[in-house]
Amino acid sequence: MTALVPIGYAAIDQGLPSLTQFSGFVFVMVAVWLLSSAGAGFGMTWEEFRLSTMAGLGFGFFFIFIHLSNQVAVIWPLVGARAASVSLLLLLGLLSLRGGKGSMVPVEGQWKFIFFTGVLDALGNAFFSMAAHLGRLDVSAVLGSLYPAATVMLAWFFLKERLRKQQWAGVGAAFVALVLISV
């Protein structure tokens, strides 16, 4: 969903991508599926489907809105999005303290990791914003949706996790997708 929504919007706004790029898009979808579902099988519950669809739509529309705001400014919309998300998270944390169901306040020592993750997320959004500004929205969104490949490869390299055949097939499909999209 995260990539499909911008692909649909870009097809209307910027025209259809080339056949080679579109073939690369298909390989990305296959790669993400193979990389993300390894070990969990190919089935999902209705609740998993509903939540992942809602999250995908949210991210897809976020990418479109960031792309549209690029016509006015590049960094300030990202600052606004970050301020809104941090404010909402702080509000939810405060409400969890009053709700009695358990605190959402991070454990001591976790703040540096939270800060580092936030900085990396903001940088990722800034790079996406620049890529969408300089090129096609659909290409930027599709390439951005390949993050499971990086996660799986980092786990393989640093944590010495064993990849299943299906994940290796996903890595292969990701490389094919990169070639097709960039040609």
pLDDT by residue (tens digit) across 36-72?
875 655 677 899 889 989 999 999 999 999 888 887 7
Nearest CA to 64 out of 143, 142, 147, 141 is that of 141
- For residue 109, the model assigns a pLDDT of 86
- How many residues in total does the chain contain? 183
* Segments making up each domain of the chain, as ranges: 4-182
| CA 87 to each of CA 102, 116, 168: distance values in angstroms, whole numbers, following the listed order | 20, 18, 40
Residue 69 three-state SS: helix
Nearest CA to 173 out of 25, 10, 12 is that of 25
Give the tokens for residue 163. 């990849």
Residue 89 three-state SS: helix
pTM of the shown model: 0.79
Give CA–CA dist 117/106, Å, rounded: 14
